[in-house]
């Protein structure tokens, strides 16, 4: 029997989502379409009569901005928003900033497939020579974390995302839910997927096939032990949701197909918009 409701939300589209680049820990705002997705999400939740007591986000702007826009559209701007690096997107290490053609060019398509499709294999770590290293690790937001800056990840597998997320889930979020409050997690594709793996006991093989579209709220109805009592519900226009999922699967299929990389005529690393 359902006792608690939990909402997961992958942030709205960012500029690099459109370009199939690994944005990861590079801080970027939502694209114009991402703003619209977040606002539409808020309107949908309001129309369906949902109310939130607390919202949790990562410390990346696109996650925070999504939460703000959702709450504004719901007329619930007063709801507390708590931020933690433990809800950040997966750290893609040296792959940050690259798109699929550039990854295949630099690392070979078979290696790229392994990084993307494996649950517990990490990409090469970011180092100080990387164009985005200083932008990430000199950012003042990372001085607020509950671990020293030098202990923050330099790369992560999906398993490691779950490992750093679980302490925050168990110690901070679970008590809020068990107190009877309705919670929204406005986070990222991989942090949401990692938590779904934990809650739904998804296998390491099957989790790679779980896709969450941007800006689509996921409702989980949980029992007293915070286990789902029914399948997750992606709320909204189901035709649009399935089209969005198909689009993401198509992008993944292109990456996993026989890609013949050629030298790219522009810098391997785009300039950040922030």
Domains of the chain: 4-126+154-257 (3.40.50.1240)
Q: Is 239 annotated as a binding residue?
A: no
Question: Which pLDDT tens digit goes with each residue over 14-56?
Answer: 988 878 888 999 999 999 999 999 999 999 999 999 999 999 9
* 130 is annotated as an active-site residue: no
Confidence (pLDDT) at 111: 86
CA neighbor of 62 nearest in space, from 43, 87, 80, 96: 87
Its pTM stands at 0.90
Encoding tokens for residue 194?
A: 């990692």
Q: What is the DSSP letter of 226?
A: S
Q: Is 10 annotated as a binding residue?
A: yes
Q: Is 43 annotated as a binding residue?
A: no
Active-site choice (37, 89, 109, 156): 89
Q: What is the mean pLDDT of the chain?
A: 90
Report whether 8 contacts 86 (CB < 8 A): no
- Cα 273 to Cα 271: distance, rounded to the nearest angstrom: 6
* 188 is annotated as an active-site residue: no
Taking 3-state DSSP, the helix, strand and coil percentages for the chain, each rounded to the nearest 5, stand at 45, 10, 45
Confidence (pLDDT) at 15: 82
* DSSP strands (E only) in 109-189: 183-187
Q: Is 67 annotated as a binding residue?
A: no
Name the β-bridge partners of 10.
187
Report whether 27 contacts 60 (CB < 8 A): yes
> Which position has the token pair 């989502």?
17
> Which position has the token pair 């030298």?
263
Q: 28: which residues sit within 8 A by CB, 6+ positions away?
A: 14, 15, 16, 61, 62, 272, 273, 274
Q: Is 100 annotated as a binding residue?
A: no
Segments of the chain scoring below 50 in pLDDT: 258-274
Q: Is 14 annotated as a binding residue?
A: yes
Encoding tokens for residue 228?
A: 């789902």
- Cα 5 to Cα 52: distance, rounded to the nearest angstrom: 10
Confidence (pLDDT) at 246: 79
CA neighbor of 123 nearest in space, from 152, 149, 98: 98
Confidence (pLDDT) at 270: 45
């Amino acid at each position: 029997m359902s006792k608690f409701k939990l909402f997961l939300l992958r942030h709205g589209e960012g500029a690099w989502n459109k370009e199939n680049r690994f944005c990861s820990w590079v801080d970027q705002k939502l694209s114009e379409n991402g703003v619209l997705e977040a606002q539409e999400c808020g309107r949908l939740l309001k129309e369906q009569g949902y109310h939130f007591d607390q919202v949790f986000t990562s410390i990346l702007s696109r996650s925070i901005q999504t939460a703000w826009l959702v709450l504004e559209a719901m007329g619930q701007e007063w709801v507390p928003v708590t931020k933690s690096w433990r809800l950040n997107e997966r750290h893609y290490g040296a792959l940050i900033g690259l798109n699929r053609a550039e990854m295949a060019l630099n690392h070979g398509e078979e290696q790229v497939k392994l990084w993307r499709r494996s649950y517990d294999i990490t990409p090469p770590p970011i180092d100080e020579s990387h164009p985005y290293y200083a932008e990430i690790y000199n950012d003042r937001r990372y001085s607020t974390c509950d671990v020293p800056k030098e202990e923050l990840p330099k790369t992560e597998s999906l398993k490691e995302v779950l490992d750093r997320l679980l302490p925050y889930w168990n110690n901070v979020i679970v008590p809020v839910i068990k107190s009877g409050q309705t919670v929204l997690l406005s986070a990222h594709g991989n942090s949401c997927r990692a938590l779904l793996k934990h809650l739904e006991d998804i296998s390491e093989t099957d989790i790679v096939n779980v896709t969450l579209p941007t800006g689509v709220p996921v409702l989980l109805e949980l029992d007293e032990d915070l286990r789902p009592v029914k399948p997750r519900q992606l709320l909204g226009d189901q035709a649009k949701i399935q089209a969005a999922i198909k689009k993401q699967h198509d992008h993944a299929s292109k990456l996993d197909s026989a890609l013949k990389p050629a030298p790219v005529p522009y810098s391997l690393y785009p300039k950040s918009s922030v």
